[in-house]
Structure 1
Amino acid sequence: MEIITSLEQLHSFAAPCVVALGTFDGLHRGHLDVIGTAKQEAEHTGAKLAVFTFSNHPLEWINPAHVPVALVTPAVKLQLLESLGVDVLIDIPFNQLVADLLPQQFLERLSALNYSCLVVGENFTYGQRGVGNVYTLAASAQAMGFKLIVRKLVSNNGTIVSSTEIRRLITAGEVQQAAKMLGRSYSISGIVAHGNERGRLLGYPTANLELVDAYVAIPLGGVYAVRAYVDGGVYGGMANIGKNPTFGDVEKPRLETNIFGFSGDIYGKTLTIEFVQRIRGEVKFAGIDALKAQLAQDKLDCLKFL
């Protein structure tokens, strides 16, 4: 997959491009529908599949105080797009240069790709202050001679799939519903850090990820059935998000995962946790015996969903 990181790097290819346009900040089912449609068109016409998006959220430039937390890290976003068969990724920063482009100027810049077709969602906007929309785009398509495909917004049980709604579901602990909108389980990745090793003493050793600088949506505190990806393997597990109120010595929330059937040393390694189902909220127990009894029940409950 070729990656273009600035407008100046845009260039034409031997074959025309079909370009999927969008912020694609979550790569949820709505985004996947736009990209999948563009892929079908590219395959049908013998064109290259290009995705045009931004390496940062536009609000970082327009209104930094209201930038939403991410649903996918840049690294995972690249992996997902490559797995979708994208030939060319235009992943440029949204900055003043981009913000000042009028709709027609944006299309003229994009024309360096020699695109034959653009694919967008019906709520797509572009150009200075977002004044361009699917109607102005349709007029430009007719005038400039390219094909335009506008996709209807995707719904899940009557609710429009959107990054905003997915964030709400995740922060409410409704990870199963979030997965239905994402088209995959929500996940968090990080480097395994040393903890206080209390889980080992309780009989449930954990791999710990700090969440303070995660910059992604954090599920509601509590216990979750999860899948853990580490060292090339996939394991079931149970994870807790919170501050360990029974002991009261953790200042900031962390993600602690007991990985079923795994005993290797993974300190300093990358661990990815996929959230399958929230089992219960975080509870302050009267003592260690009560906590151990609950952990045993939590494991049984998690196994039901794995």
Structure 2
Amino acid sequence: MDYSGQVIALGSFDGVHLGHQQILSRAYQIASKLHGTTAVLTYDPLPAQLIHPDFTYVLTPLSEKVQLLIELGIQFIHIVRFNEQTRITEPVAFVKSQILPIRPSAVVAGHDHRFGNQGRGDIALLRKLLEPLHINVEVVPEFGLFGAPVRSTRIREHLLLGHVRRAADLLGRHYRLSGKVITGTGIGHHIGFPTINLMVEEKGKLVPADGVYAALVDIMTARYPAVLNIGHRPTFMGETRTIEAHLLDCHLPFRPPGATVHFVERLRPERKFPTPEALTHQIQTDIEKARRLLDL
């Protein structure tokens, strides 16, 4: 396939957040000016997943990342399989094996972009290698919001604290989880609040802090407002961590194969109640608050 004429944005792009979108937007602008196409060169798995096998902080697994990139108008996506051989590839060899074969018109990256063995490759090296070949290297300055740079690490920290609204501000959309709907314990149905139970199948996907959330749930082609709980159900001495969503004003006559949850706001931490009746009263309060937040 002839890839020539592409303007390539470089990066891991985990989260495809507002900072990443500045890079993608600049690539699109340059491609439009050159009458070319916009592309991304990214990694799967993330380098951190190879270096730390127990890394469970992925914001956008590959399928989700690709979907978001396509929605943002990216026409070509080049995926570098990040394995041990990739990790130890020297920066010059990386450029020759991964970038030059595409024959790009230009390359766009963030100001702190690093690549190659131990991250020794940087913007200066890219310019040294590419600009003599008439491949322009465009550097996008860091993008800040609320007094700090927008970075994937910052978003992960917000999610691990349950600050899903602030994470959404930095992402430019609600954070989401997708997974398979599985059979639960039936406790929610027993106390009058039936739930769908979600099992996240994407390896390493970050699950926000335990607690109760106002959420939107996509099932097939429909979207439902919901109150969602992440945690161990301490009132009922639960031992495993679960993700359960109670759909508001809706009772599904079937168990759907899968669902996607969009986190809107954290309502409260998960806690143990003295009786099931006390929990029921709190859930009713949670639903009322969720309705206000979701403008129902």
Interval of TM-score (by shorter of Structure 1 and Structure 2):
over 0.9
* Distance in 2 between residues matched to 1:89 and 1:212, nearest whole Å: 23
* Deviation string, structure 1 residues 162-209 (Cα, Å, up to 9, x no partner): 111111110100001111111111111111111122212222111111
* Deviation string, structure 1 residues 115-145 (Cα, Å, up to 9, x no partner): 0100000010122221111122223333221
- Equivalent residue for 1:301? 289
* Deviation string, structure 1 residues 51-84 (Cα, Å, up to 9, x no partner): 10011011333x2356352111222112111112
Mapped contact 1:18–1:118 kept (Cα < 8 A): yes
Residues 43 and 112 of structure 1, relative CA distance in 2, 3 Å threshold: same
* Distance in 1 between residues matched to 2:74 and 2:260, nearest whole Å: 24
- Equivalent residue for 1:3? none
2:214 equivalent to 1:222 = no
Residues 70 and 142 of structure 1, relative CA distance in 2, 3 Å threshold: same
- Equivalent residue for 1:49? 38
* Deviation string, structure 1 residues 81-102 (Cα, Å, up to 9, x no partner): 1112222111121123323433
Mapped contact 2:56–2:203 kept (Cα < 8 A): no
- Equivalent residue for 1:240? 229
Please state whether the residue corresponding to 1:246 is helix, strand or coil. helix
State the number of aligned residues: 293
- Equivalent residue for 1:195? 184
* Distance in 2 between residues matched to 1:284 and 1:114, nearest whole Å: 59
Query: 107, 113, 117: which is aligned to 2:95?
Result: 107
- Equivalent residue for 2:2? 12
- Equivalent residue for 1:26? 15
* Deviation string, structure 1 residues 212-254 (Cα, Å, up to 9, x no partner): 9763112111110001100211111100111111111x21111
- Equivalent residue for 1:274? 262
Mapped contact 1:211–1:253 kept (Cα < 8 A): no
What's the C-alpha RMSD, in Å, of the aligned pairs?
1.8
Query: 254, 260, 283: which is aligned to 2:271?
Result: 283
Shift of residue 280, structure 1, vs aligned partner: 0.7
2:80 equivalent to 1:92 = yes
* Deviation string, structure 1 residues 267-290 (Cα, Å, up to 9, x no partner): 251111111101111121121221
* Distance in 1 between residues matched to 2:242 and 2:200, nearest whole Å: 5
Q: Which runs of 5+ in 2 are unaligned?
A: none
Q: Which runs of 5+ in 1 are unaligned?
A: 1-10
Mapped contact 1:212–1:252 kept (Cα < 8 A): no
Aligned ranges for residues 175-214 of structure 1 at < 5 Å? Answer: 175-210=164-199
Residues 27 and 295 of structure 1, relative CA distance in 2, 3 Å threshold: same
Mapped contact 1:54–1:93 kept (Cα < 8 A): yes
Shift of residue 106, structure 1, vs aligned partner: 2.3
Please state whether the residue corresponding to 1:26 is helix, strand or coil. coil
Residues 60 and 291 of structure 1, relative CA distance in 2, 3 Å threshold: closer
Please state whether the residue corresponding to 2:274 is helix, strand or coil. coil
One-letter identity of the residue aligned with 1:99: R
Query: 94, 119, 144: which is aligned to 2:108?
Result: 119
Please state whether the residue corresponding to 1:104 is helix, strand or coil. helix
**207-216 or 260-269, which deviates more:** 207-216
* Distance in 2 between residues matched to 1:192 and 1:169, nearest whole Å: 26
**TM-score, normalisation: structure 2:** 0.93
Mapped contact 1:59–1:66 kept (Cα < 8 A): no
- Equivalent residue for 1:6? none
- Equivalent residue for 1:79? 67
